[in-house]
Structure 1
Amino acid sequence: MGGLLKGVSGVRWGELRDARELPAGDIPPLLSRIAYGGEDTARLAVDELGDRVCALGFVVGEATASTVPFLLELAGAPYVPCKAELLDLLESIYRTDSWHSSAAAAGGPKRTSFREQPAWEVAAREAVHAGRLVIEGLASSMRPEEAEPARKLLVTMDEAPPFPDL
């Protein structure tokens, strides 16, 4: 996959499920389209990838945390289009708490079928947090279309409380 996304082949995508509970094997080609496609191709790929890793803008899947480092890599790479869209997707991933909320409302993950899903949210949020230096770099960009969504994500990261113990 060229200079970008070298680690994509090290993830066992076929063993993971996306936010729609489908096999995650289609995620690497979407990442590649963002990295190496034109702007229109990249925008379409970001939209589709958003549906795969953060369905409806608030539901993450098993493969989400594995995808986040590549989203951060793409957002921080020069000449990759759609940085604002990538940052918006990362913010949606960071904000998601639907599995935690559902499990808490049902009496906790041990009392429901929500056993793995809250952990997916924790892992995804931790993966976004691990890329804070990339996000801070984008927040100081001279390009407002990059800086504004990066600053917004940093505010979200600073304001979002840790997940409660269930």
Structure 2
Amino acid sequence: MGSPLKRVSGVRWGHLRDATGAAAHGIPPLLSRIAHGDERTARLAVDDLGDAICALGFVVGEATAPTVPFLLELAGSPHTACKAEVFGLLGDICRTDQWHSAAATTRGRGHDAGFQRQRGWEAASRSAVHTGRSVIEGVASSVRPEEATPARTLLRLMDEVPPFPDH
């Protein structure tokens, strides 16, 4: 796998917004703390990253989809200290449908077009999680239950929550 997160610098984080509307430049340091921190540091970083890319556990932002490949990389790394938390965050991202639901409730009233950008963020984020299925399946076959169980849980969720249809 090489050096973890070596492609993080290729993302223009300062041009993206996180789920809170803030500039996403704080995401790379959080990913680094997950990759290189001790277990406590990594868990706190996953929690902070969750606030940034999946606010309240169900609202994604523009920076969420670009962050998912790095979460998948961390989930597949033998050195990640908090894989269960990473899989939990990926599950939260996968199940988000806040903007799709809001658009559906306003359909026909002319307001659903206002949610187009946010619906795109949700669709891209969910699709990014699904793209990492092979990584998740690899961890699900681990002999370590603390890794395999959360990976299997995420796989079941992915089966229940397919990618959004193209609009």
TM-score bucket (shorter structure): over 0.9
C-alpha displacement at 1:8, in angstroms?
0.3
Instruction: For 2:9 and 2:28, locate their aligned partners in 1 and report how far apart those are by CA, in whole Å.
Output: 8
C-alpha displacement at 1:164, in angstroms?
5.3
% identical aligned pairs? 67
**AA partner of residue 147 (structure 1):** A
C-alpha displacement at 1:108, in angstroms?
6.7
Q: Corresponding residue for 2:38?
A: 38
Structure 1 residue 92 corresponds to structure 2 residue 92 = yes
Residue ranges of structure 2 left out of the alignment (5+ in a row) = none
Report Cα offsets for 1:50-108 as digits up to 9, x if no partner. 00010111100000000000000001001211000000100110000001001111117
Report Cα offsets for 1:91-142 as digits up to 9, x if no partner. 1100000010011111179634212000001100111111101100111111
Q: Corresponding residue for 1:107?
A: 107
Q: Does the 8 A contact of 2:130 with 2:163 survive in 1?
A: no
Q: Corresponding residue for 1:126?
A: 127
Q: Does the 8 A contact of 2:58 with 2:96 survive in 1?
A: yes
Q: Corresponding residue for 1:154?
A: 155
Q: Corresponding residue for 1:22?
A: 22
Q: Which contiguous aligned blocks of 4+ residues in structure 1 show a shift greater than 2 angstroms?
A: 108-113, 161-166
**Number of residues of Structure 1 aligned to a counterpart in Structure 2:** 165
Instruction: For 1:131 and 1:137, locate their aligned partners in 2 and report how far apart those are by CA, in whole Å.
Output: 10
C-alpha displacement at 1:161, in angstroms?
4.0
Structure 1 residue 140 corresponds to structure 2 residue 141 = yes
Q: Corresponding residue for 1:69?
A: 69
Residue ranges of structure 1 left out of the alignment (5+ in a row) = none
CA distance change for structure 1 residues 103 and 109 in 2, over 3 Å: closer, same or farther? farther
Instruction: For 1:43 and 1:109, locate their aligned partners in 2 and report how far apart those are by CA, in whole Å.
Output: 43
Q: Does the 8 A contact of 1:103 with 1:109 survive in 2?
A: no
Instruction: For 2:41 and 2:151, locate their aligned partners in 1 and report how far apart those are by CA, in whole Å.
Output: 22
C-alpha displacement at 1:163, in angstroms?
2.7
**AA partner of residue 6 (structure 2):** K
CA RMSD of aligned residues (A): 1.7
Normalised by the length of structure 2, the TM-score is 0.93
